[in-house]
Amino acid sequence: MNVKEKRIVVTGAAGFIGSNLTDSLLEKGAEVVGIDNLFNGRLENLDEAFKHNKFEFHKGDIRDLNFLLNVFEGIDIVYHLAAFTSVPQSVIMPENCNDINVNGVLNVLNAARRMDVEKIIYASSSSVYGDTPTLPKREDMRRLPISPYGVAKLACEAYMQVYHQVYGLKTTSLRYFNVFGPRQKDSTFSGVIAIWLGNIIRNENLIIFGDGKISRDFTYIKDVIQANLLVTKHDVSGEIFNIGAGSPINLTKLAKIMLKITNREHLKIIYKDPRPGDIIHSYADISKANRLLKFEPEYNQENGLKEYFKWYDDKYGTNLI
Ligand SMILES: NC(=O)c1ccc[n+]([C@@H]2O[C@H](COP(=O)([O-])OP(=O)(O)OC[C@H]3O[C@@H](n4cnc5c(N)ncnc54)[C@H](O)[C@@H]3O)[C@@H](O)[C@H]2O)c1
């Protein structure tokens, strides 16, 4: 399926990944209907999209079935990204997380079924693996989430598969691994790259919880978008894919690269006590996505960071690079 001329819903369109996906779909000639309740998203993320005559935006909540039924009229594909996205917050308020990330997803599936949507592509997460020691993470290995957020993502992957098997909806889940790039928020609960970027701009030292050996498969946003677009081109209904860079990096090395690229090597890296519940190592085996989707990451952490910082300088007039 080519996205050109297709009518596509992006839920969570005003968020970090949803807004980048929206821009790419519009660029490829799709008609995009963005929905978001603006709980965490920002309309300014859609500034580019609003310039486009093939874009429309509806403010609303995925927990409102009637809202979804209206918006899904005549839709071919739904990218479902709207979510309660903070892992630590999900520990504090598991009911809210479940309400949005499980009940909300069921609503999306039921509305899609009733309105004859052809395909649903779901934003899952590496958090479904929890802290199992086996590396890299493969899709068929045991999943042991250690947060309500991870449980909800795992439940919804199962719902995606069941709605494919039982009702014939073409569903696919993508397990993202630590995404970074333009429009990611610098807040207490956001990814470490966005937090450190905020520190660098304010000329503050970078803080690492633990000894810095924690590693992650930081994945540049454009590779995540690439994977989302590839799903429309292949018949991979009922499947689940890891989407990562496939190259882990530890936090000390990452911090040093960020300080070097931005020429801020006078700033220090401060080590604090590890945080309970933090997963130690995580990285993706992406061979399944490579085999079935022809997914090949184009960015490593260093060139992804350079492109991100350049975008930041252009947009906010900072002097990072
Ligand atoms: N950023 C990552 O590293 C990462 C990693 C794994 C998975 N994911 C998943 O990718 C998706 C997008 O994440 P993101 O980083 O862009 O987060 P984000 O918070 O920037 O985007 C989520 C969007 O969903 C919206 N939203 C929240 N609740 C809603 C509701 N009830 N109804 C309608 N809209 C609602 C928010 O306002 C926000 O704009 C999420 O499903 C997230 O769980 C992200």
Tens of pLDDT, residue by residue over 220-229, are 999 999 999 9
Q: Which atom of ligand 1 is nearest to the CA of 61?
A: 32
Which residues lie across from 276 on neighbouring strands?
Answer: none
Averaged pLDDT of the chain: 96
pLDDT in tens, 46-64: 999 999 999 999 999 999 9
pLDDT > 90 in the chain, percent:
93
- The alpha carbon of 36 and the centre of ligand 1 are apart by a number of angstroms equal to 9
Mutate to test the pocket of ligand 1, among 81, 98, 177 (most ligand atoms within 8 A of CB): 81
- The alpha carbon of 18 and the centre of ligand 1 are apart by a number of angstroms equal to 7
pLDDT at 279: 78
pLDDT in tens, 247-306: 999 999 999 999 999 999 999 999 999 887 677 888 999 999 999 999 999 999 999 999
pLDDT in tens, 227-244: 999 999 999 999 999 999
Please give the backbone phi and psi of residue 194, each rounded to the nearest 5 degrees, phi first. -65, -35
> Does the beta carbon of 173 lie inside 6 Å of ligand 1?
no
Which residues lie across from 206 on neighbouring strands?
Answer: 269
pLDDT at 188: 67
Amino acid letter for position 200: I
> Does the beta carbon of 18 lie inside 6 Å of ligand 1?
yes
**Residue 190 in contact with residue 184, Cβ under 8 Å?**
yes
Q: Which atom of ligand 1 is nearest to the CA of 100?
A: 31
Residue that is written with structure tokens 């005549």 in the block:
74
pLDDT at 277: 65
> Does the beta carbon of 83 lie inside 6 Å of ligand 1?
yes
Q: Residue 208, exposed/middle/buried by CB under 10 A (0-12, 13-18, 19+)?
A: buried
Q: Which atom of ligand 1 is nearest to the CA of 219?
A: 3
Instruction: Report the C-alpha gap between 104 and 35 in whole angstroms.
Output: 13
pLDDT in tens, 97-154: 999 999 999 999 999 999 999 999 999 999 999 988 899 999 999 999 999 999 999 9
Instruction: Report the C-alpha gap between 196 and 83 in whole angstroms.
Output: 24
- The alpha carbon of 82 and the centre of ligand 1 are apart by a number of angstroms equal to 5
Residue that is written with structure tokens 């005003």 in the block:
14
Domain ranges of the chain: 7-180+221-246+288-293, 192-215+248-279+301-313
Determine the Cα angle at 62 with ends 57 and 66, to 5°.
Answer: 85
pLDDT at 33: 98
pLDDT at 306: 98
Instruction: Report the C-alpha gap between 284 and 287 in whole angstroms.
Output: 9
pLDDT in tens, 172-210: 999 999 999 999 988 766 789 999 999 999 999 999 999
- The alpha carbon of 48 and the centre of ligand 1 are apart by a number of angstroms equal to 19
DSSP 129: G
CATH class, 192-215+248-279+301-313 region:
alpha beta
Residue with CA closest to ligand 1 atom 28: 83
Domain 7-180+221-246+288-293 belongs in CATH node 3.40.50.720: yes
